[in-house]
Copies of this chain bind each other. A is one copy, B any other.
Amino acid sequence: QNRGRLLISCNDKPGIVAKVSQWLFEYKANIVESNQYSTSHTDGLFFMRIEFECPDFQKRYSELKESFHEVASSFKMDWQLQSASNRKKTAIFVSKEDHCLQELLWNYERGELYTDIAMVVSNHETMREFVESKGIPFHYIPVTKETKPEAEKAQLELLESNEIDFVILARYMQILSSDFVTRHPNRVMNIHHSFLPAFVGAKPYERAYERGVKLIGATAHYVTDELDQGPIVEQDIERVDHRDSIEELKRIGRSVEKSVLARGVKWHLEDRILVYGNKTIVFD
């Protein structure tokens, strides 16, 4: 297809949009969707995402890239030019709970997640049959305190040899090492089962129950070195009340978790998320 996607960030100043849109016009590109945001209009940072249709986009890709390089350098832009038809290669990490995995695969089969799910990795065998029945390779890599380093090594090798672009922690209940995480900046997305920053860490539903909250939530975020402190991508909540046991909270929470994660993943795959400091700009 002829659809391209341009992602830009740089210091804001007048003329950026003029220059970029003039460049697109020269290539007879039609803007399909355009989003921009400045942190401040005087001395802020400028972020832009443009989706466009351009005749012979694939054929002329390297020509386009070279020519945009000039535009970009005059504004000292960070930028990416991508073909929208390039699917990212995704790996899903799971443990024993299947609701997030099911939701992702259900959306995937319907064509709502534009990606290539290359594998599911798990520290349990529980999901093997289900995953393989979908024709997706399943890798069982057990993790114990002792074997963690070597398990991660195996995971990293899998990701590398399969050229994985994006890792989804779909209720994978293990903490990844600093090394793993820093190798994939803003490319590992986790679903945390609370409305962060409330209930960072383990057993959020148990603690929500203890605290007597009236809403429970879920948070999709990029994983960084600090536990549950990475850039937040999406959040949502559901109402609960005094009658709901911890089991009920978990049941209700599953439904929030899976839809929050699915939205975050969809946005990532469409390059709608720009990270800025520890915050995200979502052009949804």
Contacts and interface: CB of A to CB of B under 8 A. Distances in A.
Interface stretch (A35-43, A68-76, A144-152): A35-43
A246 interface: no
Interface in A68-109: 99, 102, 106
A231 interface: yes
What is the copy number of this chain in the assembly? 4
Interface in A212-255: 212-215, 217, 231-237, 241-243, 251, 255
A147 B20 CA distance: 60
A132 interface: no
Given A12-B30, A28-B14, A259-B255, A213 B196 contact: yes
Interface stretch (A157-165, A172-180, A276-284): A276-284
Most chain B CB within 10 A, of A28, A36, A99, A215, is at A215
A18 interface: yes
Contacts of A31: 14, 17, 36
Contacts of A255: 259
A215 B217 contact: yes
Interface string A58-71: 00000000000000
A158 B14 CA distance: 44
Contact of A236 (B28, B41, B215): B215
A215 B197 contact: no
Contact of A34 (B36, B215, B236): B36
Contacts of A242: 37, 279-282
B280 A212 contact: yes
B21 A41 contact: no
A178 to B, nearest CB: 21
Contact of A21 (B21, B112, B232, B280): B21
Contacts of A281: 242
Nearest to A233: B214
Given A41-B32, A236-B215, A242-B281, A17 B14 contact: no
8 contacts: A18-B18, A18-B25, A212-B280, A213-B232, A215-B217, A215-B236, A237-B237, A242-B279
Given A17-B31, A18-B22, A41-B53, 15 more contacts: A14-B24, A17-B21, A31-B36, A37-B243, A99-B106, A102-B106, A195-B215, A195-B237, A197-B198, A197-B211, A198-B198, A214-B232, A215-B235, A242-B282, A255-B259
